[in-house]
Structure 1
């Protein structure tokens, strides 16, 4: 299995959560990795790489600067046209929404980054989906964000929510393209729902 990991950190030399992603994936699947910074991507290149899965990483600081938004054009194109299962995590999830014109803002616009969803928190599933196979209707997953999507992008459905963030997971209605606001790659022996989600994701065809 070959996986493309898209690094969404602003500085291309900053690997951010990439190593954590690799370590977590290796606990559920045997995989080879291709790591690309979001500024060095193209849809054609993704096809040429012949990857089986794509993961869009989170970002340590998701304060998107207006001056850098155009740099995500290639990533938006990949999100819209990807033919293999794709998972957007945290900032990667937010970029999925932006690619389809959804609104992104602080969880608490008046308090901005002083209002944050952090640590292992409960997330409620709104229905059945194969990515949540084997899990209860309430997940315990790791959160670290102060921005959120304010609406569900066209062509997607909402699969989960939390008390603080009303859009925690979305899925493309016609492709195996998912976005999660939480971090499934950050799991432990006590809170391992994220591990199950990753395992289910890599079972998609």
Structure 2
């Protein structure tokens, strides 16, 4: 008798950012993972979890807002993905105090399940050309920094998470753990 094991599937939504392929590469050995266009209709998303990747602009987010409103699966927003999440639920995005990529020292406010096992302070690699500046009312802030008040957030009732930094790059401390935590959330 043959045993068939169903792999968990996570889709990374390509928002035209330079690291979207790296997000997929970071998790492909742990789960079945594909990179999909942000033009993919929500009804064509067949996954246990979704990652909204980074990108250059809130003007080119395709169907990402529909994914957040219509899909009942865990979703992680990275950089622009977090900003899409913020504006979809009534928050605001404004220009950050520094542009381009830089090391950012992040302070943990609430460990929660996405930041489980993280230390009180850790170094990340992030862009703050734009950032969530007003937290949506249904969300709670999980992390902060001296240059950005809202470095990470989560929805209070749904498995929706956002981080301003890039967990998929080697310069980010605990990036692999964050992605592993997301995978574990998708397994529940």
Q: What TM-score, normalized to structure 1?
A: 0.80
8 A contact 1:117–1:164 mirrored in 2: no
For 1:55 and 1:44, the matched residues in 2 are separated by: 16
SS of residue paired to 2:91: coil
Partner residue in 2 for 1:196: 177
- Which is helix-richer, 1 or 2? 1
Partner residue in 2 for 1:6: 13
CA RMSD of aligned residues (A): 1.9
Residue ranges of structure 2 left out of the alignment (5+ in a row):
1-7
CA deviations 1:110-133 (Å, max 9, x no partner) are xxxxx3263232101112312222
Partner residue in 1 for 2:148: 165
8 A contact 2:49–2:75 mirrored in 1: yes
8 A contact 1:158–1:171 mirrored in 2: yes
8 A contact 1:3–1:32 mirrored in 2: yes
Number of residue pairs matched? 179
1:43 matched to 2:42? The reply is yes
Partner residue in 1 for 2:110: 127
Partner residue in 1 for 2:99: 116
Residue ranges of structure 1 left out of the alignment (5+ in a row):
10-14, 109-114
SS of residue paired to 1:196: helix
1:34 deviation in Å?
A: 2.6
1:140 matched to 2:123? The reply is yes
Q: What TM-score, normalized to structure 2?
A: 0.86
1:92 deviation in Å?
A: 0.7
1:43 deviation in Å?
A: 2.3
8 A contact 2:122–2:173 mirrored in 1: no
